[in-house]
Amino acid sequence: MKTVDNLLKQPSAWLSVGANTGSIISSRVRLARNIDGRIFPGRAGEEESVRLWHDLQPVFEGLSALCPAVSLEMNDLTRVDKDVLFERHLMSSELAEKGPGSALVFKRDESVSIMVNEEDHLRMQAMSTGLNLFGLWKIINTVDSEIESHVNYAVSPQLGYLSACPTNVGTGMRASVMLHLPGLSLMNEIKPIIKGVSKIGLAVRGLWGEGTEASGDMFQISNQTTLGEKEEAIIKRLEQIVLEVDEHEKKARIRLMQKKENLLRDQIGRAYGVLSQAYLLNSRETLSMLSHLRLGIDLGLVVKWKQAMIDELFLLIQPGHLQKLEGKRIGAEKRDMVRARLMRKRLASVVSDK
């Protein structure tokens, strides 16, 4: 789809694109909301879902916070389109599996998006680079209020906002921060950090959210609880922990430079060597090596590349983006070839710039 094609011409809202160095990549705040008197998506039939979407579409498209808005119905999208939207963190893989009535509306710059008829009637999110949870909370709060002026949400006076899954009841809010932690990974200190963060009621997840493993040393930290606490309190606690983890990462990087400089140079050198010379690259390995290159740039050990280019590659080597770039569907095995060709081209072009 042309609309999705155009996304590849702009940076994704969640990737820093050189905006900031260090470990903090991006922030997201999302709210789960359901419309009072309507059956929850899991139990609603096709007709009811379509009706809800048709009722709400004009509301979303009129929202000032989403202007200019892009509306996409799941039924109109190809597999590759959906993959691209997922990889850009505009929607979940669950929404991609849904049929008529399920849709995605987002602001063209990708900073705000609403999933319609996913697990809940509405899942709205705001995202940006860097650590910006309070800012995003304000934005999504405005969107929420604007919508509420048109519809009645399903609310319980005791519990707060109702949702399909009990883990979202209450605020319906999930705030998360994406961190790049190669220093802690290389120092073998990532596990205790994850354990510590989990103990205080926060979740640590991989690059693509729930149920995904960390790849490319990317980790998402988010709140687990949505009940019995104000949104601002949840966000404040999360932000504190994120800053602590960032501090740990900084210290790990210093220790790496002091005690394991050769290991570090080795990982970075190999990453460049393989990425620029391989003919077959799967996405897991590629992410891991891009992570090491990114660390090298952050530490000043690699001066040939800009962080923005590496960040862009993080996204472009994903299956959906890769197929979009090629303009056609490509099987997994063939993708490894295409991915390697892309890397060789991009990295070689930089070397010859030297």
Residue numbers at the binding site for a second copy (CB under 8 A): 262-263, 265-266, 269-270, 272-280, 337, 340
Residue 306 C-beta: closest distance to a second copy, Å = 19
Is 299:257 a contact under the CB 8 Å cutoff? yes
Residues in a beta bridge with 180: 218
Minimum Å gap between C-beta 272 and a second copy is: 5
Name the residue nearer to a second copy (CB basis): 251 or 260: 260
Residue closer to a second copy by CB (options 233, 263) is: 263
Return the bridge partners of 160, or none: 156
Is the Cβ of residue 135 or residue 269 nearer to a second copy in the bound state? 269
Q: Is 189 exposed, middle or buried (0-12, 13-18, 19+ CB in 10 A)?
A: middle
Nearest distance in Å: CB 259, a second copy: 13
Minimum distance of a second copy from residue 222's CB (angstroms): 36
Q: What residues contact residue 216 under an 8 Å CB cut-off, 6+ apart?
A: 180, 207, 287, 288, 290, 291, 314
CB 278 within 8 A of CB 343: yes
The nearest distance, CB 125 to a second copy, in angstroms, is 39
Nearer to a second copy, 31 or 342 (CB): 342
Which residue number, 81 or 298, has a Cβ lying nearer to a second copy? Answer: 298
* Torsions phi, psi for 32 (to 5 deg): -100, 125
- In whole angstroms, how close is the CB of 262 to a second copy at the nearest point? 5
Give 108 or 265: the residue with its C-beta nearer to a second copy. Answer: 265
Strand ranges for the chain from DSSP E: 24-33, 69-73, 103-107, 112-116, 122-129, 155-156, 160-161, 173-180, 202-205, 218-223
Q: Does a cis peptide bond (omega within 30 degrees of 0) precede residue 192?
A: no
Give me the amino acid identity at 76.
D
What's the closest the beta carbon of residue 330 comes to a second copy, in angstroms?
14
Cα–Cα distances (Å) from 125 to 105, 176, 244, 312, in that order, read: 11, 11, 25, 22
At its nearest, how many Å lie between a second copy and the CB of residue 190?
Answer: 21
Q: Specify the residue, 18 or 269, whose C-beta has the smaller distance to a second copy.
A: 269
Residue with Cβ nearer a second copy (234 or 340): 340
DSSP characters over 89-142: TSS-HHHHT--TT-EEEEETTSSEEEEESSSSSEEEEEEEESS-HHHHHHHHHH
User: What distance in Å separates the CA atoms of residue 71 and residue 54, rounded to the nearest whole number?
Assistant: 11
Residue 271 CB, nearest distance to a second copy (Å)? 8
DSSP bridge partners of 173: 31
Task: List, in sequence order, every residue forming a beta bridge with 232; answer none if it has no partner.
Answer: none
As a whole number of angstroms, the distance between CA 125 and CA 90 comes to 8
Contact criterion met (CB below 8 Å) for 260 and 202: no
| Least distance from a second copy to the Cβ atom of residue 308, Å | 22
Nearer to a second copy by Cβ, of 255 and 265: the residue is 265
Choose between 124 and 281: whose C-beta lies nearer to a second copy: 281
